[in-house]
C-alpha cells in the first residue's frame, strides 16, 4: 500500500527532460492541458498523442509507468466515455436499446474524450517522474511568484502543499493500523454491510483527525526548532537557471497548442 502511494516520486534516468527547468515543465503542462481541452477531432488527437509519446520516450522512463499513472482513473474514463455515448446524438445510428440509441458521433466523441483524459493523466506524470518534489516546489514557487503582488506568499503555499503530500502516505499508514486494531476487536470493515461500513468510516475519522493534529503540532515544533519563521527570508537549496533549452521546451508546447487549434478551423 505504502509503495503504491509514493506521491511525487521521481524516477531518475538522467534524460534531458529531467534537466529542464521545473518552471518550464509547469508552463508546458498548463499549455498541454489547454491543447488537450481544445482537441476535438481524431487528427488533432493523433498529433497530441504523437507529441506525448515523443516526450515520454525522451524521458527514458518505460512507457508502462505512464500507463500505470493513468490506471487509477479508469473508472472516470469509462464514465466520460459513457456520458458522451449517451448524450451525443450525431451521425449514423449504430445500435438501439428501447428509446436510447448509440450514434457514430457519440461513440467517436466518447472515445476522443476518454483518450484525452488518458493522455492528460499519463502525460502529466512526466512532471512528477522527471522532477524531484523539492525542485517541483521551487518551480511552483517561481511560477506563482506574481501572487506576491496580491499578498499571497508562493513559498508558504508550496511548503504547505509539499508537507501535505509528504504526510499522505503516513496518514494512510496510520488509518490502516487503526482499521487493523478495530478488526482485531471484532469490527472488521471487510465483513460489514455497506451501511455499517459508512458508520465505521465516520468513527475512523475521529482518531485519524486527532492523530493528524498531533502530528502537525509535533511538526511545527520540529520546524521551529530548525529555525523556521513564517515570512523570514530563506535561501534555496535548489538553484534554478533558465536556459535556451527551457525556452525551446515551452515553445514546443506553444506549437502543439497552435497546431491543435488550427484543426478547429480546418
Partner 1 sequence: MTETGLAFELQQVSFAYGPEQPVLSDVTLRIPHGSWMSLVGPNGCGKSTLAKLLGGLLAVNGGAIIVEGTPLLKETVQQIRPRIGMVFQNPDNQFIGATVEEDIAFGLEGRCLPREEMAERVKRYAEKLEISHLLSKHPAELSGGQKQRVAVAAILAMEPGIVIFDESSSMLDEKARGELLNILRDMKQSGHYTMISITHDAEEIMASDRAVVLRDGGIAADLKPSDLFGDAELLDSCRLIAPYGIRLARELEKQGVHLPAECGGEEVADALWQLYSRK
**Which span sits near partner 1 by CB under 8 A: 21-29, 64-72, 79-87, 166-174?**
166-174
- The residues, any chain, with a CB within 8 Å of residue 6's CB and separated by 6 or more, are 169
**Which span sits near partner 1 by CB under 8 A: 59-67, 101-109, 162-170, 189-197?**
162-170
By CB under 8 A, residue 247 contacts partner 1: no
Cell 475521529 -> residue? 206
CA distances to 172, 205, 229 from 212, rounded to whole Å, are 11, 10, 22
By CB under 8 A, residue 19 contacts partner 1: no
Selected binder of partner 1 within 162, 249, 260, 263 (CB under 8 A): 162
By CB under 8 A, residue 176 contacts partner 1: no
* DSSP code for 7: T
As a whole number of angstroms, the longest Cα–Cα distance in the chain is 69
Q: How far is the CB of 233 from partner 1 (least distance, A)?
A: 6
By CB under 8 A, residue 163 contacts partner 1: yes
By CB under 8 A, residue 223 contacts partner 1: yes
Is residue 10 helix, strand or coil? coil
Looking at 72-103, list the stretches that DSSP marks H as alpha helix, in order from N- to C-terminal side.
74-87
Selected binder of partner 1 within 203, 222, 247, 262 (CB under 8 A): 222
Selected binder of partner 1 within 97, 150, 202, 229 (CB under 8 A): 229
d(CA 97, CA 205): 44
Strand 100-103 to 93-97 pairing: antiparallel
Selected binder of partner 1 within 165, 187, 208, 259 (CB under 8 A): 165
User: Which value, in Å, is the radius of gyration of the alpha carbons in the chain?
Assistant: 23
Residues of this chain, 76-135, that bind partner 1 according to CB under 8 A: 132-134
By CB under 8 A, residue 12 contacts partner 1: yes
Is residue 204 helix, strand or coil? helix
By CB under 8 A, name the binding residues for partner 1.
2-3, 5-6, 8-9, 12, 132-134, 137, 162-163, 165-166, 169-170, 173, 215, 218-219, 221-229, 232-237, 239
Amino acid at each position: 500500500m505504502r509503495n503504491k502511494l509514493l506521491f511525487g516520486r521521481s524516477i531518475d534516468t538522467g534524460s534531458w527532460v529531467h534537466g529542464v527547468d521545473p518552471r518550464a515543465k509547469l508552463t508546458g503542462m498548463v499549455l498541454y492541458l489547454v491543447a488537450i481541452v481544445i482537441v476535438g477531432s481524431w487528427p488533432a488527437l493523433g498529433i497530441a498523442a504523437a507529441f506525448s509519446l515523443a516526450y515520454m520516450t525522451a524521458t527514458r522512463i518505460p512507457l508502462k509507468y505512464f500507463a500505470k499513472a493513468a490506471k487509477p482513473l479508469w473508472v472516470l474514463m469509462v464514465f466520460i466515455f459513457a456520458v458522451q455515448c449517451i448524450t451525443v446524438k450525431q451521425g449514423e445510428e449504430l445500435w438501439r436499446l428501447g428509446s436510447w440509441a448509440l450514434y457514430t458521433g457519440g461513440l467517436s466523441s466518447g472515445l476522443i474524450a476518454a483518450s484525452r483524459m488518458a493522455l492528460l493523466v499519463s502525460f502529466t506524470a512526466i512532471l512528477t517522474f522527471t522532477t524531484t518534489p523539492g525542485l517541483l516546489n521551487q518551480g511552483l514557487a517561481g511560477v506563482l511568484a506574481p501572487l506576491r503582488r496580491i499578498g499571497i506568499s508562493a513559498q508558504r503555499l508550496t511548503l504547505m502543499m509539499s508537507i501535505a503530500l509528504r504526510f499522505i502516505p503516513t496518514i494512510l499508514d496510520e488509518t490502516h493500523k487503526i482499521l487493523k486494531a478495530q478488526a482485531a476487536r471484532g469490527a472488521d470493515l471487510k465483513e460489514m454491510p455497506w451501511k455499517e461500513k459508512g458508520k465505521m468510516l465516520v468513527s475512523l475519522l475521529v482518531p485519524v483527525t486527532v492523530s493528524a493534529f498531533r502530528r502537525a503540532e509535533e511538526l511545527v515544533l520540529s520546524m521551529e526548532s530548525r529555525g523556521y519563521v513564517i515570512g523570514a527570508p530563506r535561501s534555496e537549496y535548489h538553484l534554478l537557471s533558465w536556459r535556451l533549452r527551457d525556452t525551446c521546451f515551452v515553445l514546443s508546447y506553444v506549437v502543439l497548442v497552435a497546431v491543435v487549434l488550427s484543426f478547429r478551423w480546418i
